[in-house]
Amino acid sequence: MAEALKNKGDECAIDAIKMAKFLKLMMLYDLLQAYEFDEIMPIITNMFPGTDKYEKPLREAWNLLLSMNPVLSKKNIRYKLMKGSRAEESYMGAEDKDFDATWEVIIGKNLSREKGS
C-alpha cells in the first residue's frame, strides 16, 4: 500500500511539472487578444512608413483574426535572433516555415523563444 501511495505521489508531481510547463505556453491567438488594434497600428506605421494609408484593411484583418477559432497545433512559432541582410544587422524573428499553415492553425500555435534570444 505504501508503495502504491509513493507512486501516486510521483505521478502527481509529474502532473504538476507538466501543468507548470503548460501554463508558460502562450498561443499566438492569446497574444493577439492582449492588444487593441489602436495600440499596435502606430508601431506598424513606425516600422513600415506609409502603411497608415492601409489602416482600414489592416483593422479588418485584425478583427478577422480575432474572430477565428484557433486550431491547436503541436508545432510552435519559435522566435530567435536572426541575421539581417547586412552583416551588422540582427532582429528577433521566426522562420517562414513556422507560418506555413492556415490562419486558424497559425493562431493556434504556441509561441516560444530560443534560449539566449
> pLDDT (tens digit, 9 = 90+) per residue, 47-89?
899 999 999 999 999 999 999 999 999 899 999 988 888 888 8
Residue 84 or residue 104, greater confidence: 104
% residues pLDDT > 70 (the chain): 78
Asked if pLDDT for residue 98 goes beyond 60, the answer is yes
Q: Write down the pTM of the prediction.
A: 0.70
Please give the angle made by the CA atoms of 94, 98 and 101, to the nearest 5 degrees: 145
Residue 117 — very low, low, confident or very high, per pLDDT cuts 50/70/90? Answer: low
